[in-house]
Structure 1
Amino acid sequence: MKMKRKIIATGIVFLFCFASLTIAKGGEKMISYSFSVPELAIEKYDEEYIELKIDGSSYLMNDGYPVLPKISKTFEIEFGANVKSIDVFARNIEEYRIENEIRPSPPLLPLSLENAFYPKNSEFYSSNEIYPSSWYSYRIGCGLNDKMERVTFVTVHLFPVKYKPSESKIYFASNFEIKIRYDKPSKLTSSSSYDLVIISPKE
């Protein structure tokens, strides 16, 4: 049976989120989104490693580096909008000491090798580096939403846990605030014209 230990940030007793949309001068828009992170569970993975889990999260996985929780939030804005800035603020950061190393991420392997040995990045695990270096990353793309409408997707990946292996410490942010600023897309006039390019296979 796995041993489980849970860390609950002081004052956080339920999941809370708040989102708002405001319009600034000149037509600039801003999305503001705040929420609290569910509790962090520390579980024994094997005799050497532990693993970290957060309900509803996926994982940040890079070959040989520790497997850490990742929370992704996707926002829809108008198609053709110009994203001016994406700011993320980690709040209520607590420091904890852990007894074992966090399990390393396996490389991408064929199914026939899925039980192979997964070596850790020894250089990182013996360093003073804090991983990941940022609390977040983001990606902007365009596509169709559930209503088959063309929109711009802004996906923000949050990393609520950072790891410093040389000191056996983790840093846990229990709250995040996301601010996305963008300009509305310019409207197309009736005089606008476009060239239609058709690409067909060679005969």
Structure 2
Amino acid sequence: MKNILVIFTIGLLIGSVFGAVAIAKENKIEKFEKIKFSAPTIKKIDKYVVVNFKEANSWMREPGKPVLPLYVKTLEFPWGTKIVNVECKPIKIKKIALSSKIISAPNPVPLAAIKTASLKVTLDKKVYESRAIYPDRWYTYTVGCGLDGEKRVFYLKITTSPLRYSPSENMLYYAEEMSVKTTCVLPDKKPTVFPGQYDLLIVAPSKFTSELQRLVDHKNNLGIKTKLVTIEDVYSSTTGRDGAEKLKYFIKQAIEDWNIKYVLLVGGKKSLLFGDWGMAGPGHENDRLWYIPVRYSNLDDQEEGGYVSDLYYADIYKYENGKAVFDDWDSNGDGVFA
């Protein structure tokens, strides 16, 4: 969804809809669709079985729990659409008695140890000894914000589980069809008016601005409207928990005030010899070590605590209660950024 270009300076591209049957009433749309699934296939592997179906395009792989195929459908909606409801109803549910348990997903293994690690099949007793059917529902859905080219859109991701498993019965339940109903309210088609307009935003330390002015002039001469802002001005004019969050808020404001399409962040680490590079993980950021602040993404692979992620600056929005809001990458507020 996000297009990112890294040149040690960082450049990033900031960022209808219906098939089947759709019924519109003013701005409210109801979309109906039926999805057909092939009969499951069952393959024996040692003491276990692996189940699948032809249309599967993803997998449910939680360590210790049954590996089951999924069908994921993604729909695109105009920016500002409110997703009111999504309903998926299974049709023609059938069942198959299995000869063995469905194989479980292995625990993740660090990449550095993947050649020497042995993958052991372990069964989560809470699932395999339960009378409940796994997973506990036929579908889930999420709504996210993204880009289609240079156009901002909402993405509705519907994840269906046409195959469900009853471990206590060792029975596979499957739906031959799924009826999907999506209800949404489209935004008013009012043109957006921007106080100013630029194509490219460049952010850099003040000590680099004289050299960068030549780049700004060159871009403007090519018809690419360019705005140069110092990181010091960003820090003084924007609120946030640290430098990275201030810069991300500034980019969000630049999108909404100037309709920028691209961002170029100029600057790296001030010293190659001193200061943490991110191995200690999130929470150890130090803006004083960098010309441009960085965000460490959390990583727990027993090798390093985190890594520098420029995606943080491209992933500006998240969908919340029918609106696009600032995504701070810290949904539970614990200061660890995902």
TM value normalised by structure 2: 0.50
Does the 8 A contact of 2:21 with 2:33 survive in 1? yes
Look up the match of 1:99: 99
- The structural deviation recorded for 1:137 is 0.6
Distance in 1, matches of 2:171 and 2:250, equals: 57
Other structure's SS at 2:126 match: helix
- Residues 111-168 of structure 1: CA deviation (Å, up to 9, x unaligned): 42453313110232122111001000111011112x4422111010000111111111
Paired with 1:149 and 1:38, the residues of 2 have a C-alpha distance of 36
Helix, strand or coil: the match of 2:165? strand
Residue 20 of structure 1 pairs with residue 21 of structure 2: yes
The higher radius of gyration belongs to: 2
Which residue identity is paired with 1:59?
Answer: W
CA RMSD of aligned residues (A): 2.4
Cα deviation, residue 192, structure 1:
8.0
Change (3 A) 1:191 1:27: same
Q: Is 2:161 the partner of 1:162?
A: no
Please list the CA deviations of residues 50-103 of structure 1 after superposition, one character each: whole Å capped at 9, or x if unmatched. Answer: 000112412111111100110000111111101111111111100111110000
Distance 2:170 2:193 in 1: 64
Structure 1 counterpart of 2:179, which letter? E
Q: CA deviation at 1:107?
A: 1.6
Instruction: Indicate yes or no: 2:115 matched with 1:115.
Output: no
CA distance in 2, matches of 1:53, 1:190: 47
SS of the equivalent of 1:124 reads helix
Contact 2:27–2:188 at 8 Å: present in 1 too? Answer: no
Q: How far is 1:189 from its partner?
A: 6.0
2:51–2:69: 8 Å Cα contact kept in structure 1?
yes
**Corresponding pairs, count:** 182
Matches within 5 A, 1:123-202: 123-145=126-148, 147-188=149-190, 198=250
Q: Higher strand share goes to which structure?
A: 1
Quote the Cα distance in structure 1 between the aligned partners of 2:23 and 2:179: 15
User: 1:179 Cα deviation (Å)?
Assistant: 0.8
Please say if residues 67 and 105 of structure 2, whose CA atoms lie closer than 8 Å, have aligned partners that are also in contact.
yes
Task: Give ranges in structure 1 of 5+ residues lacking alignment.
Answer: 1-17
Whole-Å separation in 2 of the counterparts to 1:153 and 1:107: 30
Distance across 2 between alignment mates of 1:150 and 1:132: 33
| Partner Cα separation in structure 2 for residue 184 and residue 32 of structure 1 | 16
Corresponding residue for residue 336 of structure 2: none
Q: Which residue of 2 aligns with 1:7?
A: none
Distance across 2 between alignment mates of 1:101 and 1:120: 10
Counterpart in 2 of 1:10?
none
CA distance in 1, matches of 2:28, 2:160: 25
Residues 116-125 or 73-82, more deviating: 116-125
**Which letter does structure 2 place at the counterpart of 1:30?**
E
Classify 1:190/1:175 alpha carbon distance in 2 versus 1 (closer, same or farther; 3 Å). closer
Distance 1:69 1:191 in 2: 46
| Structure 2 residues not aligned, in runs of 5+ | 1-18, 197-237, 239-248, 252-264, 266-286, 292-338
State the shift of 1:27 in Å: 2.1
**1:33 aligned residue:** 33
Higher relative contact order (Cα pairs below 8 Å, separated by 6+ residues): 1
Quote the Cα distance in structure 2 between the aligned partners of 1:124 and 1:189: 52
